């Protein structure tokens, strides 16, 4: 059985510290989940994720794993934990966002969504029921409901129609969840996703609808899709006002270090984003002292360690000059070291936030740390 426990609430904000208990381990929140879309966090080995980044949970994607390697291989492997050799918790997104990104190559109806594979162009059809079945075969601890992620900007008419579909899909997914069982002797949960674009009443309607269905976690989708930052915070605040206080809250696809800390203050517990690894591959590095563009000439003869504060060995023994050399030479080790640093930074940040929440010092700490880590060095 998977259970979320709320351990402490910050007296000066909506920030919370909690724990999610799963059969694959305990997750302490707030937490950042590295994105391993295809069963791999790009450029980072599972042993590094475990021993150095100290990731407590990672994320994979139903859409991508369904297409490749496919569910026959996944079933023969005994599920994703065995397939990728990961013995900690794992979450799978339903593929709704990926289908959203295929806007020119998909058709959404109340029955489901028709789309064409980005790999070979083959025609595929997802229903709320089939997405549950696929995630049963994958064997993720946390399964996400199929939803439609509305674009930004979005008309009210479209948002109303889209929310109706998402609600219908949730009901059907829950029925399928109740009629099926886990395949690999560990518990799985099914997480509803709130939609409603940038319409307050639709967001409230979606969340109150989702609250009818018991889940240790509820998610907020359809944000961080191009809207202004102030709207992100506004609608996260609105959403958490109506979400059940004793359950975990997952903000999907967010975000920058600043986004994460501001949204922790607004009551969010779980985050995921490709930003740390994507930016790492392009030489943008997050450190405890600020943000570095390692390709800049100023680092050419800087032989100081990349970051001494986080406890990451590779960032303590390798200099900024060496890392710049790797990037300028096109060596893949550069991207690997940068990704490792960025993920370690993100986990350090949320772990530090948790410590400060427990000490009732989160708000003061947040303002101080943001002025430091958002500096361009």
Instruction: List residues with catalytic annotation.
Output: 93, 272
Q: Name the residue among 251, 295, 292 with its Cα closest to residue 273.
A: 251
**Is 172:33 a contact under the CB 8 Å cutoff?**
no
User: DSSP string spanning 219-236?
Assistant: EE-S-SSS--HHHHHHHH
**Tokens 């940040």 sit on residue:** 349
H helices within 59-139, ranges in order?
62-67, 71-77, 80-84, 96-101, 128-138
Q: Tell me how far apart the alpha carbons of residues 80 and 316 are, in angstroms, rounded to a whole number.
A: 33
Q: Tell me how far apart the alpha carbons of residues 70 and 289 are, in angstroms, rounded to a whole number.
A: 43
Query: How many CB atoms are located within 10 Å of the residue 120 CB?
Result: 8
**Count of H-run helices and E-run strands, the chain:** 15, 17
User: DSSP string spanning 105-125?
Assistant: GEEE-SS-EEEE-TTT--EEE
Q: Name the residue among 256, 211, 210 with its Cα closest to residue 232.
A: 256
Residues β-bridged to residue 293: 284
Q: Which residues contact 330 (CB under 8 A, 6 or more apart)?
A: none
Output the CA angle 163-169-170, nearest 5 degrees.
90
């Amino acid at each position: 059985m998977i259970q979320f426990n709320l351990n402490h609430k910050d007296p000066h904000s909506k920030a919370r510290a909690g724990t999610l208990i799963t059969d694959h381990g305990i997750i302490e929140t707030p937490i950042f989940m590295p994105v391993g879309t295809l069963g791999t966090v790009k450029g980072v080995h599972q042993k590094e994720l475990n021993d150095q980044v100290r990731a407590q949970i990672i994320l994979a994607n139903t859409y991508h794993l369904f297409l490749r390697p496919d569910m026959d291989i996944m079933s023969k492997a005994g599920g994703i934990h065995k397939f990728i050799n990961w013995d900690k918790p794992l979450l799978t997104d339903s593929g709704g966002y990926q289908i959203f990104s295929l806007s020119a190559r998909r058709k959404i109806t109340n029955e489901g969504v028709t789309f064409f594979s980005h790999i070979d162009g083959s025609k595929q059809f997802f229903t709320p029921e089939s997405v549950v079945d696929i995630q049963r075969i994958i064997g993720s601890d946390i399964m996400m409901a199929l939803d439609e992620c509305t674009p930004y900007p979005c008309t009210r008419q479209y948002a109303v129609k889209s929310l109706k579909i998402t609600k219908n899909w949730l009901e059907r997914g829950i029925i399928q969840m109740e009629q099926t069982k886990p395949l690999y002797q560990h518990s799985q949960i099914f997480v509803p996703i709130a939609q409603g674009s940038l319409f307050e009443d639709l967001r409230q309607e979606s969340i109150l609808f989702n609250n009818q269905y018991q889940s240790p976690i509820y998610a907020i989708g359809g944000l961080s899709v191009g809207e202004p930052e102030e709207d992100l915070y506004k609608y996260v605040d609105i959403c958490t006002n109506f979400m059940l206080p004793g359950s975990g809250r997952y903000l999907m696809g967010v975000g920058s270090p600043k986004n994460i800390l501001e949204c922790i203050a607004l009551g969010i517990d779980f985050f995921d984003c490709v930003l740390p690894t994507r930016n790492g591959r392009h030489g943008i590095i997050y450190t405890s002292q600020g943000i570095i563009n390692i390709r800049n000439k100023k680092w050419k003869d800087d032989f100081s360690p990349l970051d001494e504060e986080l406890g990451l060995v590779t960032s303590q023994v390798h200099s900024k000059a060496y890392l710049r050399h790797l990037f300028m030479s096109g060596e893949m080790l550069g991207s690997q070291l940068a990704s490792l640093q960025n993920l370690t930074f993100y986990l350090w940040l949320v772990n530090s936030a948790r410590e400060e929440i427990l000490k009732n010092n989160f708000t003061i700490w947040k303002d101080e740390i943001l002025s430091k880590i958002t500096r361009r060095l």
